Structure 1
Amino acid sequence: MKKKVLLIVLSLSMIGMIDHAAMSWETAVILTPAPGPAPRINGTRLFGVRPGSPFLFRIPATGERPMSFAVENLPAGLTVDPLTGIITGAILERGSYSVMLRASNSKGTAARELRIVCGDTLAVTPHMGWNSWYVWENHVTDEIMRAAADAMISSGMADHGYTYVNIDDCWPVKPGSTDPTLRGEPRDKSGKVNSNPRFPDMKALTDHIHAYGLKAGIYTSPGPTTCADHTGAWKHEAADVERFVEWGFDFLKYDWCSYSQIAKDKSREECQKPYRVISEILRRQPRDIVLNLCQYGMGDVWEWGKEVGGNSWRTAGDLGGSFEKIGLALFRDGFDLYAEKELHRFGGPGGWNDPDYLLLGYLSNWKGQTVPTPLTPNEQYSHVSLWCLLAAPLIFSGDITRLDDFTLNLLTNDEVIEVDQDPLGLPGRRLAKEGDLEVWARPMEDGSLAVGLFNRGEGLKVIEAKWEDLGVRGPQKVRDLWRQRDVGVAEGKFEACVARHGVVFVRLWPSD
C-alpha cells in the first residue's frame, strides 16, 4: 500500500512540471477543482465579537445562484438577510452561541455549524482579505478600494471566506507635497486626521464595503509620519481612533515607520509602548477594530504581541521589499525564521504570527509597473501551503481586479483554507529536515494532521513523512488537499515526489 500511495502522488506531482535543475520554466498547473453547482458553506467555523459591538458576517458559500440563506438558533439581537446571507445586529450577552448556517439553491441545501463567541477576544481565527500595498503602493485611491471590494465579490473570493478590504499607506494628507491630490489640512479643528483628496468620503467608502457584508481596514503609524511620509498618529492617537470609528473601519494596521524617531532605544519596553497605547484606546471604542502590529519582528514581538493587545504581528521585514528577492524572503522569513524561533509556541486564537501578505498574481515591481509575481508556480503553492500550516493571516496583496484562473486556484481552495482557519488554532511547525527537504505539520481540531512536504532544493525529490516524526500511529488515510482527492492508506510513513521549490500538501486521519 505504501508503494501505491507513492506512485499516485508521483504521477500527480509531475503533471505539467518541468525539471528545474537548469533553472528553466515550469507550467502553472491548476490543481484546485472548480466549485460544484450545489451549495457549499466555506470559511471560518468560529467568529469572535465583543458585547454590543456592531456584528457583520457574510455567510461564505459557493454554488449556483440564486441562493437563499437561513440561520438556526441566532442569538438575540442578530438577523440574517435571506437573499445575501449577511448577518447583522449586535449581541449584548456574553457567551458562546452555536448556530446552524444554511444555504440553498435549486441543486440542494448545505448546512454548517458556526460558533459565535461573544467576549473580549477578536480574530479567533486568522484574518482573510486583501491589502492594497504590494500592487498599488502610493497610488491608492477611493476608486481602487471600491473596485477591490467589488472584485472580492465578483471573483468569488468572498464565497471562500475572504472578508477584509484594507487600505495601506498613502490615504492621509502628505505634508509638504506638491501633488494636489495629496495636499490639504492634515487634521480638522478638533485634531482628528483628515484623508487626502484621493479619498473624498471615507464613510461612503466603508458603507460601500459593508454593503457586501465585507469589512474595511485602514493604516497609520504611531510616529509623526507614515512610511511614505503621510500624516501619522503621533500625539493624536485617541483622536485618530475616534475618526476611524466615525468612518466605520474594522481593522487597523499600525506601522512603526517614523516612531523610530520617538523611541528612546530598541528595548522591549520601547518596542511595546506605542502598541500598548493604541490597543487600550481601541478597547474603549463601541466598535470592534482588529489590530495588526507592523514592526518587522523587532524585540521578538511574537513573545509579547498578544500581551500588548495585538491580534496579529509581523514577524519580519517586508516580504516584497525587494521584488526580485521575494522567493529568497519566502524561504528566509517563512521557513527558516519560524523553525529557528519556534514561532508555533506563540500564535493562537486572538493573536497570530504574521509573515506578511500573499504575494501572488500581479504586483508592483517598484519601478512603476505592475507585473506577474516573480515566484514560480511551485513556489506559489509552497507560499500558500506554508501560510496555512503556520496559521498565518491570508491577506492577498496582488491586483484583485486582475485575477487569472491560476491565482484564483491558489486563493480559493476550501480544503487548504480549512487548515488555515481550523478552530483549534494551533500553528504548525517543522518536524523533520534533511538537507533541502522539510516536513511541516499542524494538528487539527478533528484529530487529523495537516502535513506539508516541501522541496527547497533542485529537481524532483522523494520526501518521506515518517510516523515517528509526525507523532501518529497505525494506518492513516491520506488526502491530497490541493487536488481534493483521497490518495489511499499509508502505514509507517507517507512518501511523495515533490518538484523543485514545491510542496505536496496532505491531511492524515486514522483509518480505523
Structure 2
Amino acid sequence: MFFGKPKEVSDSAYLAQAQTPPMGWNSWNKFGCNVSEKLIMDMADKMVKTGMKNAGYQYVVIDDCWQVERDSLGFIQADPDRFPHGMKYLADYIHSKGLKFGLYSCAGSYTCQGRPGSRGHQFQDALMYAKWGVDFLKYDWCSDEGQNAQAAYATMSDAIKESGRPMILSICEWGEHEPWKWGKGIGHLWRVTADIRDCYQCLFDWGGVGVLNVIDKMADLYPYAGPGHWNDAEMLEVGNGGMTKDEYITHFSMWCMLAAPLMAGNDLTKMDKDTHEILTNKEVIAVDQDPMGEQGRRFMDMGEKEIWAKPLSNGELAVCFLNRTDFPWKLDYNWKAQTIYFANEVNIHANEYVIRDLWKHKDIGTTAQNTKATIPAHSVLMVRLSKKAK
C-alpha cells in the first residue's frame, strides 16, 4: 500500500486545534465492544436530528474493538464483519453530515480489549488514519510495557503531524504520569483519572471513579488548561441510567464549569426528554465553550457545600453552587460579603451584575440583593453574571 509523501502538518496548525474543549460522542460508555458500522451511522444521524450538532457536538468517536489485525504489510485492519465497507466509507458518511470522525488506539502493543495497539506502528497507523479521514484520535495506555509516557505520546503526536492530516490527539493514560505537566504541545486533551462510572460518588479497587471523585481531582488543575490544551474529566454518563436527574445536572454543569471536553456516552437513539434537555442546554454549554478558555475553580469550600467560579469573556462570570449533601441547601447568598475577582475584571463590589439561572433560563435578580434558592440534594444552582447596564 503506497501513500506517497504527505505534506506535514505544521506545529502551528497542529496546536491551533481545539481552541475550545472538543464536543462529541464516544461509543465506549454505553456500547463497549459492541460497535458496528450501522451503530455509528445511526449515532451520527441522531446527533444531527436531535439537535446535538446544533448545540455544538462535532465528533463521532469509535472506541476500542473496531480493529482486529494487521495485514501482511503491518497496516491496521477494521473488523470486516462489523465494518463491512471499511473506515473510509464510514468517515465519508460522518463528514457528509457535517460532523467529524474519531477513532481509538493505544500506545501499547495491545489495546485494553486485546486488539492490536500502535506500538511500533505509530507512523504507519497515522498514515492510515489520514487516508481514512480521521479527525480525532483517542490514544490509550494499556499494555504500555514500561514505556515513558511522555515519549510515547510525543511519538504519536509526531506521527500525526507527518501524516499530513490535522487530528486532535486525546491522551488517555488516566493521569498516572501527570500529563497536565507535559501534555501541552503533544496532545490537545489529557485524562486525569481512571475511567468514569455511572455513579455520583464511587471508587472501585479495579479502577473507576464517580462524578465527585473526578471533580475533586480536577479542582487544582486549572493552571494547566486553556485554548488547545484541556484537562479531560472523562466522557459523560448523562442518560445511561445510573444517576438521578439532579445528579446528571450536576455532572454536566460541573464539566462545563471545568472547561472539560464534552463527549456524550449514551444511546442517542433512545434519549428521554430529561437527557436531551441536559445535553443540549446551550446556556450551560456556552460556559464550557467560552473562548477565554479558563477552567473554573473552587472559590469556596464549606465541606459538602461548595461555590465554584469560572471567568468568562466580556467581563462575565459563571458561578456554580454545588450541593454535595443528601439534603436540600437553603441558599441565602450575600454577594457583597465575598470578593470574587478575576483577571477578566469581574468585581462584585464595584459593579452590579444581573444573575441568570442557566437551568431555568431566566434572570433571578442582581448582586445588589441576596440570592435565595433551594438547591436539591446532589444538585446545583448554576448562574451567569453579566454587568448590569447603567
Q: Do they superpose with TM above 0.5?
A: yes
Alignment equivalent of 2:214, drawn from 333, 339, 345: 333
Q: Are 1:192 and 1:239, in contact at CA under 8 Å, matched by a contact in 2?
A: yes
CA drift of 1:397 comes to 0.4
Alignment of 1:255-266 (within 5 A): 255-259=140-144, 261-263=145-147
Q: Distance in 2 between matches of 1:163 and 1:278?
A: 23
Instruction: Give the equivalent residue in structure 1 for 2:61.
Output: 166
Counterpart check, 1:489 vs 2:366: yes
CA drift of 1:496 comes to 3.0
Alignment of 1:260-409 (within 5 A): 261-263=145-147, 270-307=148-185, 309-320=186-197, 325=202, 329-334=210-215, 336-339=216-219, 342-362=220-240, 373-409=241-277
CA drift of 1:466 comes to 3.8
Counterpart check, 1:447 vs 2:330: no
Q: Which of structures 1 and 2 has the larger relative contact order (alpha carbons within 8 angstroms, sep 6+)?
A: 1
Q: Are 1:465 and 1:495, in contact at CA under 8 Å, matched by a contact in 2?
A: no
Instruction: Give the equivalent residue in structure 1 for 2:129.
Output: 244
| AA aligned opposite 2:376 | A
| AA aligned opposite 1:165 | V
CA drift of 1:484 comes to 1.3
Relative to structure 1, the CA distance from residue 313 to residue 431 in structure 2 (aligned partners, 3 Å threshold; closer, same or farther) is: same
Q: Distance in 1 between matches of 2:91 and 2:128?
A: 13
Alignment equivalent of 1:128, drawn from 1, 20, 23: 23
SS in 2 for 1:497: strand
Instruction: Give the equivalent residue in structure 1 for 2:280.
Output: 412
Q: Distance in 2 between matches of 1:497 and 1:424?
A: 31
Matched positions, count: 368
Instruction: Give the equivalent residue in structure 2 for 1:225.
Output: 110
CA drift of 1:360 comes to 1.4
Q: Are 2:52 and 2:280, in contact at CA under 8 Å, matched by a contact in 1?
A: yes
Greater percentage in strand: 1
CA drift of 1:245 comes to 0.7
Q: TM-score, normalised by structure 1?
A: 0.69
CA drift of 1:338 comes to 2.0
Q: Distance in 2 between matches of 1:324 and 1:453?
A: 18
CA drift of 1:491 comes to 2.3
Q: TM-score, normalised by structure 2?
A: 0.89
CA drift of 1:376 comes to 1.1
SS in 2 for 1:332: helix
CA drift of 1:324 comes to 8.9
Instruction: Give the equivalent residue in structure 1 for 2:344.
Output: none
Instruction: Give the equivalent residue in structure 1 for 2:83.
Output: 199
User: Structure 1: any 5+ residue segments left out of the alignment?
Assistant: 1-51, 55-91, 95-116, 174-185, 264-269, 363-372
Q: Distance in 2 between matches of 1:377 and 1:153?
A: 24
Relative to structure 1, the CA distance from residue 132 to residue 306 in structure 2 (aligned partners, 3 Å threshold; closer, same or farther) is: same
Instruction: Give the equivalent residue in structure 1 for 2:340.
Output: 470
Q: Are 1:203 and 1:247, in contact at CA under 8 Å, matched by a contact in 2?
A: yes
Q: Are 2:257 and 2:296, in contact at CA under 8 Å, matched by a contact in 1?
A: yes
Alignment equivalent of 1:147, drawn from 23, 26, 42: 42
Instruction: Give the equivalent residue in structure 2 for 1:183.
Output: none
Q: Are 2:238 and 2:252, in contact at CA under 8 Å, matched by a contact in 1?
A: no
Relative to structure 1, the CA distance from residue 496 to residue 314 in structure 2 (aligned partners, 3 Å threshold; closer, same or farther) is: same
Relative to structure 1, the CA distance from residue 125 to residue 409 in structure 2 (aligned partners, 3 Å threshold; closer, same or farther) is: same
User: Structure 2: any 5+ residue segments left out of the alignment?
Assistant: 1-6, 342-347
Report which of the two structures shows the higher radius of gyration computed on alpha carbons.
1
Map Cα deviations across residues 12-51 of structure 1 (whole Å, 9 max, x no partner). xxxxxxxxxxxxxxxxxxxxxxxxxxxxxxxxxxxxxxxx
Q: Distance in 2 between matches of 1:293 and 1:382?
A: 25
- The alignment yields a C-alpha RMSD, in angstroms, of 2.3
Q: Distance in 1 between matches of 2:8 and 2:120?
A: 27
Q: Are 1:53 and 1:288, in contact at CA under 8 Å, matched by a contact in 2?
A: no
Q: Distance in 1 between matches of 2:8 and 2:355?
A: 42
Q: Distance in 2 between matches of 1:328 and 1:499?
A: 23
Map Cα deviations across residues 143-196 of structure 1 (whole Å, 9 max, x no partner). 1111111111111111111100000000111xxxxxxxxxxxx22233211111
Relative to structure 1, the CA distance from residue 493 to residue 312 in structure 2 (aligned partners, 3 Å threshold; closer, same or farther) is: farther
Q: Are 1:223 and 1:262, in contact at CA under 8 Å, matched by a contact in 2?
A: no
Alignment of 1:49-60 (within 5 A): none
Q: Are 1:324 and 1:374, in contact at CA under 8 Å, matched by a contact in 2?
A: no
Q: Are 2:298 and 2:306, in contact at CA under 8 Å, matched by a contact in 1?
A: yes
Q: Are 2:200 and 2:247, in contact at CA under 8 Å, matched by a contact in 1?
A: no
Q: Distance in 2 between matches of 1:434 and 1:492?
A: 22
Instruction: Give the equivalent residue in structure 1 for 2:3.
Output: none
